[in-house]
Amino acid sequence: MEIVDRFLKYVSFCTTSDENTGLTPSTPGQIEFAKYLAEELKSIGLSEVRLDENGYIMATLESNQPSDRSCQIPVVGFIAHMDTSPDASGKHVKASIVKAEEREYIDPRYAGQDVIVTDETTLLGADDKAGIAEIVTACEFLIQHPEIPHGKIRIAFTPDEEIGQGADHFDVNAFGADFAYTMDGGTIGELEFENFNAAACKIKIHGLNVHPGYAYHKMHNSMRIAHQIIAMIPRSETPEHTQGYQGFFHLVGINGTVEETTLSYIIRDHDRNRFEARKQAMIQMVEAMNTKYGEGTAEIELRDQYYNMREKIEPVMHIIDLVIDAMKAVNVTPNVKPIRGGTDGARLSFEGLPCPNIFAGGENFHSRYEYLPIPSMIKAMEVILQIIQMVK
């Protein structure tokens, strides 16, 4: 099956992103994959294929309607990202197709289905190479079936989404779509136009190291001060104790010595006011340590990453209705839900490109137990085709 073969080829590229390189794309495997994709898009007949110096690919599926009709049809875009998460290795992925019952971690609802899995030493890369395979295969199908009427379609593949930089160099004007969809969701039927407001927080604690035999009332152990900050965050407001619309503080990294410790947090909340309150709470924790141990003991750096796209989607809710109708047309039950995370589409929506998120079909993202039910991937492609045909 072409879409499966395409996906299996894609996961052979190691495209793990890395926030520490300071490069775009952040890792060489992404540009290698991008070059392969650019050539593939040309080979199947897409036009205006462009790979820029930052690793972003854009291409066009031209309208097959008369010119006077084409100019009246909105230009719709489809977007997916090329990188995979640093949370698990994406190198030397060994993918295979099994029946769902052969792996205990696969949800029983997929019983009897063919599912793509790994050997459990790496992630799979369905996030988001499934999205890329679905978009490319849908475009190829339309090129091979010119009798299916459609307007102009734009596609884009981006680097570094997993480290929050996927929209950094995305040229919305050059993309030229009226609206778009990221094919970056999980379970079949998912449709998302609400996401977290997001910030990154880095706290640096400065200690004072003294010989432990003479440390009485002199030593300030930065790691112990860091522990006090950690303890100030309610356990109930961490990812493992929240769901749905509940926000959280998430400690994602600790690096420390007696002299200096750095805490890295991400802060998330769907509600903008609560989001701002969470950031202020972190500032107050740092101020409390400076009051207790002396000014300059702790420093904080806060950086907003993206905001809830809902406020940009609500004025154009017809693009949500379009997806719901497309899903129903291919016998997929829509499951409209908030994203407990974010996508490129969140930032792009604030840059003038309304961009909800549609399922790509994978499960257990960022994990060695990631898997992709093949019927879900096929349905995602069918949804793309249906949307394109329904855009009038």
Give the 3-state secondary structure of residue 370: coil
Backbone torsion region of residue 22, taken as left when φ is above 0, otherwise alpha when ψ lies between -120 and 50, otherwise beta: left
Separation CA 84–CA 337 (nearest Å): 23
- The burial class, CB within 10 Å (0-12 / 13-18 / 19+), for 246 is middle
DSSP 238: S
DSSP 364: S
Query: Alpha carbon of 372 to those of 10, 34, 113: distances in Å?
Result: 14, 22, 10
Separation CA 37–CA 30 (nearest Å): 10
Reading the block at residue 120, the tokens are 């459990």
Separation CA 132–CA 7 (nearest Å): 8
- In the residue annotation, 83 being an active-site residue is answered as yes
Separation CA 117–CA 368 (nearest Å): 9
Contacts of 169 (CB under 8 A, 6+ apart): 24, 52, 54, 56
Contacts of 358 (CB under 8 A, 6+ apart): 181, 182, 183, 184, 185, 190, 191, 192, 323, 380, 383
Q: Which of 40, 161, 194, 363 is catalytic?
A: 161
Contacts of 149 (CB under 8 A, 6+ apart): 64, 65, 389
**DSSP E strands: which ranges in 54-134?**
57-61, 76-81, 96-99, 114-117
Task: Tell me the CA end-to-end span of the chain in Å, nearest whole number.
Answer: 31
Q: Which of 83, 140, 184, 363 is catalytic?
A: 83
Catalytic positions:
83, 161
